[in-house]
Structure 1
Amino acid sequence: MIHAPRQCGKTTLAQQVGRRRGFRYYTFDDAATLAAARADVTGFVARLERRAILDEVQRVPELFAALKPTVDANRASVRLILTGSSNVLLVPRLSDSLAGRIEILRLYPLAQIELERAPPAFLNALFSDRQIFPPGRTLLGQLLETFVFGEIAKQAAAHPERIGLYHLRDKDGYEVDIVVQRGTQHVGIEVKAASSVHEADFRGIKRLRELLGVRFHGGIVLYDGDHVLPFGERLLAVPLSALWSRIPRRTAHIAD
């Protein structure tokens, strides 16, 4: 199943993959198809081709239970591509229907690195022994933490290793916008929509370093500036454009 927000490209992707392999396309955005499935979902499933695309399946939640016997009886031959714009894992009784029979692919909107045609190197740079970032400047205007979090989340979803994304705020008011975890190592990220960085901007990251000890890999402040600047051991100010820029073999690094 391809799970993605509307207008994200999931239908186009399903059709591009399916048509080359002889899949028949059905969409529940079509009023007649939706009415037929709701009126007799068992009969609708029984008449499906062995290879079919079912688009916007969240509109017919009872479909999942009806698909179960068909999939179980024809595991070797039945291949279905489902798409949905809401989380079908929240559909009641899904765990009793297609659990173990469905693989969910999360499709995100285009990341800035894709628009820039650059490889997703930011996360690898975060956890390299020599954290390397390119110089640069971005003119994104009112850049919000949600934009940065979204860009990192898209890269994390495609990363070969498991990447955890968290937020820190403790009882003393110390805060880190994004904490990125890979294995036992953590990197703190602060987001600043300004062209300058000050020592105080690392306040939360330094607190994170105290809490984590050897599990602290480094910390960066992403800012709207031109240069990569060191602010102490394993602390850097990094241009926001590092999120989607090509990472050179050697530029500024946190620690030798």
Structure 2
Amino acid sequence: MVAEALGDTRVVILNGARQTGKSTLAELCLRDHQPDGVRRYLDDPRTRASADADPVAFLDAPGAMLIDEVQRVPELWLTIKHIVDRDPRPGRFLLTGSARLLGLSQLPDSLPGRSETIELFPLSQGEITGGPDGFVDAVFAHGSRLRAAASTLRRRDYLALATRGGYPEAVRRETPRRRAQFFRSYLDDIMSRDVHQVADIQRISDMRRLIGTLAAQSGGLLNYSRLSSDLALPASTVRDYVGLLELIYLIRLIPAWSANATTRAVATPKLVFNDAGLAGHLVSGVTNDATTGGLVETFVIGELARQITWSQTMPRLHHYRDRDGYEVDAVLEDNAGRVVAVEVKAAETVRTDDFRSIRVLQRRLGDRFRAGFVLYCGDQQLPFGENLACLPISALWTTQPGEER
């Protein structure tokens, strides 16, 4: 994706959380695009000082330039815009950042029509194991006719995968104790660097308390009033802090889905951590059905979100809940308006009642309903009615895009 964008776009922005491999990927892509391209790393204080002092001279180069952690010097933005307006060659700048750059208030302007943003998340299970990661495209192509392989994984195995997470450094560490040390250091780094880069937070302790509370609620609806009450913080502060955590890729807000056929839908977003391993670390020692179910749901939604970034279908990811209490964990809608519903169960068996909310959505949508699935911790695919089936969670990363029954 990055290589393609460099071939036809003036400014390519590689955005994502810290420790997801942005710098390494950018290096490889620049080497292929233009081996003699200039590299600037704004984590280096001397390089940052140079960029601050004279942005025009700093960006003066005949060919492509990689600027790593560009959010550290927002003053570069206008100069980049000025350069690419006068030199419209594609692949002029490759920028990386550990925040959603266009959401930063310090940036003086965006680059409409001049840039393409590619988001990089922690590794998917397919990237870790070499699996095809084809579930999203397969469900739209084949609906419930897709073929899912039987799984040897069980609930404890999925919990182990979820708590390992997808940060490359965490995946490499072989024991839970060593991964816990990584997550502790990662959070310290986020608090001391990323948070201060994008906002003036006076009480970091309040932010840390909020992060811990959100981890325990990952996979649930975002309720600012309840968070405000639980943390004894103004609702406006909680809202600002949540926005900041989304900006630096710690969390993701899944928007509510509705359509004319489902006018009873509520508009509250769902909150999930971008990495289930980090959420699991924050709730370690708290073992109950709510935290376990939330962790498995966070894990599954994370896999879906990653696949969407490279799928051919490119559906939008939502959740559904209505005033009658019917809710579906993930709703995927493609550009044609077709809908795939996904419910997540942290159990090794599936009951007919587990499809209750999906069936409601199916009736309300009619022909727009493509298929509905319950992803669970069991071993096999089973039909549960027309266009309905249960699948092992591992089908997310073991299904080929073109497979069907």
The two structures have a TM-score, normalised by structure 1, of 0.89
* 1:29-51 C-alpha deviation (Å, 9 max, x unpaired): 10111122123323323x44532
Aligned 8 A contact 1:137 1:241 in 2: no
Cα distance in 2 between the residues matched to 1:184 and 1:60: 41
| 1:227 paired to 2:392 | no
Cα distance in 1 between the residues matched to 2:26 and 2:106: 25
* Alpha carbons of structure 1 residues 33 and 215: separation in structure 2 relative to 1, 3 Å: same
Aligned 8 A contact 2:138 2:399 in 1: no
| 1:132 paired to 2:132 | no
| Correspondence for 1:150 among 302, 309, 322 | 302
Structure 1: give runs of 5+ residues left out of the alignment: 252-256
Q: After TM superposition, list the pairs within 5 Å mapping 1:1-256 onto structure 2.
A: 1-20=13-32, 21=34, 22-45=36-59, 47-76=60-89, 79-92=92-105, 96-127=109-140, 128-129=142-143, 130-138=145-153, 139-141=157-159, 142=292, 143-182=295-334, 183-247=336-400, 249=403
- Structure 2 SS opposite 1:172: coil
Cα distance in 2 between the residues matched to 1:249 and 1:70: 47
Name the structure with the higher strand share: 1
Name the structure with the higher helix share: 2
* Alpha carbons of structure 1 residues 250 and 83: separation in structure 2 relative to 1, 3 Å: closer
Cα distance in 1 between the residues matched to 2:131 and 2:328: 27
Cα distance in 2 between the residues matched to 1:33 and 1:250: 53
* 1:77-99 C-alpha deviation (Å, 9 max, x unpaired): 87111111111111348584522
Aligned to 2:184: none
Aligned 8 A contact 1:137 1:240 in 2: no
* 1:85-133 C-alpha deviation (Å, 9 max, x unpaired): 1111113485845222212122222210122212222113312152332
- Structure 1 SS opposite 2:398: coil
CA RMSD of aligned residues (A): 2.1
Distance apart, 1:202 and its partner CA: 1.0
**Aligned residue pairs: how many?**
250
* 1:13-67 C-alpha deviation (Å, 9 max, x unpaired): 111122342112111110111122123323323x445321100001111211121
Cα distance in 1 between the residues matched to 2:96 and 2:369: 39
Which moves more between the two structures, 68-77 or 182-191? 68-77
Cα distance in 1 between the residues matched to 2:92 and 2:311: 27
The two structures have a TM-score, normalised by structure 2, of 0.58
The one-letter code of the counterpart of 1:62 is: E
Which moves more between the two structures, 25-34 or 181-190? 181-190
Aligned 8 A contact 1:133 1:242 in 2: yes
Cα distance in 1 between the residues matched to 2:132 and 2:320: 29
Aligned 8 A contact 1:116 1:245 in 2: no
Which moves more between the two structures, 234-243 or 180-189? 180-189
Aligned 8 A contact 1:125 1:133 in 2: no
- Structure 2 SS opposite 1:166: strand
Aligned 8 A contact 1:65 1:98 in 2: no
Aligned 8 A contact 1:24 1:49 in 2: no
Cα distance in 2 between the residues matched to 1:249 and 1:104: 31
Aligned 8 A contact 2:77 2:108 in 1: no
- Structure 2 SS opposite 1:113: helix
Cα distance in 2 between the residues matched to 1:170 and 1:146: 21
Structure 2: give runs of 5+ residues left out of the alignment: 1-12, 160-291
Which moves more between the two structures, 134-143 or 5-14? 134-143
Greater C-alpha radius of gyration: 1
